[in-house]
Structure 1
Amino acid sequence: MTHRIMPNEKLLRFWLDKLFSICSNLQARCLERWRMPGQSGAATDRFKIFFPHLLRRKHNDYLMLCSNLVSNQVAEEGGAMANVHDVAQYILDRTGEITTWKLQKLVYYSQAWSLVWDEKPLFPERIEAWANGPVVPDLYQQHRGSFTVSKIAGGNPKRLDQDGKETVDAVLKYYGHKSSQWLSDLTHREAPWLNARKGLPDGDRGNSVITHGALADYYGNL
C-alpha cells in the first residue's frame, strides 16, 4: 500500500517552496515590526538577533522534514541500496545487544548470501580481511572502542528491501545463535578471507578487500 502522490523531485521542490515562502513571510513580518513607530533601538536590536535565529530553526526543521519524506519514499520504492549501518541495525533489532565482533561476522555472511541468493550486494561498503576476520571498516568506525552494541547511529532498517530482509533473516536463523568465536573461526577456514590474507603472517594487520566475486564464487559453490 502506498500514500505517495508525487515523485521524489516534485515532493522535494514542493517542500522547499514551502520553506522559502515561510522564510519570506517571517522576514516581511520582522521588517514591518522594525519599521513600527515607537520601537526602541533595543527592541530593534533584539529583532535583528532574533530573526536569523528563528530563520535557522525553521530552515533546519523543514530541511529535516524534506529529507525524511524523500528518504522514506525512496525506501518504499526500493530505489536506494541500504548501507551497512542499515543492515547492522536490522540485525540488532532481531538479536538484541551482541558483541561488535559477532555483528561484523553476521553482516559479512549477510552480504555473502545476498550475493548468492539475490545476485546483488546487500550494501555497498567494502569488506576487508583483518587479522580477526572479515570487517567492514565503515561499520567499525561506528562501534570502535565498544565490546557490545545494540544501536548503530544512522542505521535505518526500513531501507532494506524485502529480498534483503529475507536474506538477513535466513542468515540469522543459521548463524545467529553461534558465538563470536565460532563465527570468527569459521571465516578463518573459508577461502574469501584466506585468499585475501595471502602473504600475511597470522595476526598481522591487513586491509585487503574481500571482493563480491570472491564471496559469490565461494559461497555459491558450497
Structure 2
Amino acid sequence: MTTELSIQDVADWFIDNGNDITPKKLQKMLYYAYAWALVFFNDDQKDLRTKLFDENFEAWVHGPVNRKIYAEYRDYGYGVINPESKSDAEVISDDVLDLLKQINEIYGPYNGNELERLTHSESPWINARGDAKPLDSSTNKLSDEDMFDFYGKKLIA
C-alpha cells in the first residue's frame, strides 16, 4: 500500500517549498523522504506495505536516483529548478506533510553535493552498489529493507 501520492507530487512539493532545489538535490530529498516514510509508516521490516510513493531508487554514481525524476529534470543540469507552484498540499495527509516538512528542515540546508556525500556514507546505497567501482554505472535498486533497517536504527541511536 502506498500513500495516494506519486513521486511527482512529492517532487513538486519539494520544488515549491525548498531552497535552491537542483536535480541532484531533488533526487536526494525524494530518497530521504521515501526512506524515512518506510520507517515512520511501517512497523516491521518484513512487512513494508506503506510507502510514500510507488517508485524505487537505483544506486547511481552520484547517489540514489529515480529514473522518472531524472528524465523529468535532467535538462536543468546543475541549475536550480524553477518552482511552478504545482504542489497541492490539500491532497497530502497531515502525517505525510509533517514528514516532508521534517525532511526539508533536516536535509534542506544541504546542497546536492553534500547530500550525495551523505548517501555515499550510508549502507543502503553502499549495499546496492555492491562491487561496482566508483565511476561504474549501476542500475541496482536500493533495498526497502536496507533503508528501513539503516534509518530505523538511527532513531534508536
Q: Offset at 1:145?
A: 2.1
Q: Return closer, same or farther for 1:117/1:97 CA change in 2, 3 Å cut-off.
A: same
Q: Return closer, same or farther for 1:123/1:80 CA change in 2, 3 Å cut-off.
A: closer
- Which structure has the bigger radius of gyration? 1
Q: TM-score, normalization: structure 2?
A: 0.83
Matches for 1:42-61 after TM superposition, within 5 Å:
none
Q: Offset at 1:123?
A: 0.8
Residues 121 and 212 in structure 1, CA contact (< 8 A), matched pair in contact too: no
Gapped regions of structure 2 (runs ≥ 5): 43-49
Q: Offset at 1:212?
A: 1.4
Distance, in Å, in 2 between the alignment partners of 1:157 and 1:139 is: 20
Q: Return closer, same or farther for 1:141/1:157 CA change in 2, 3 Å cut-off.
A: farther
Alignment partner, residue 21 of structure 1: none
Kindly indicate whether residue 25 of structure 2 is the aligned counterpart of residue 124 of structure 1. no
Instruction: Give 2:57's aligned amino acid.
Output: I
Gapped regions of structure 1 (runs ≥ 5): 1-78
Residues 60 and 139 in structure 2, CA contact (< 8 A), matched pair in contact too: yes
Q: TM-score, normalization: structure 1?
A: 0.60
Distance, in Å, in 2 between the alignment partners of 1:149 and 1:176 is: 14
Alignment partner, residue 168 of structure 1: 100
Residues 58 and 141 in structure 2, CA contact (< 8 A), matched pair in contact too: yes
Instruction: Give 2:132's aligned amino acid.
Output: L
Alignment partner, residue 109 of structure 1: 32
Q: Offset at 1:182?
A: 1.0
Distance, in Å, in 1 between the alignment partners of 2:3 and 2:37 is: 16
Q: Return closer, same or farther for 1:159/1:127 CA change in 2, 3 Å cut-off.
A: farther
Alignment identity in percent?
31
- The alignment of Structure 1 onto Structure 2 pairs a total of residues equal to 144
Residues 86 and 157 in structure 1, CA contact (< 8 A), matched pair in contact too: no
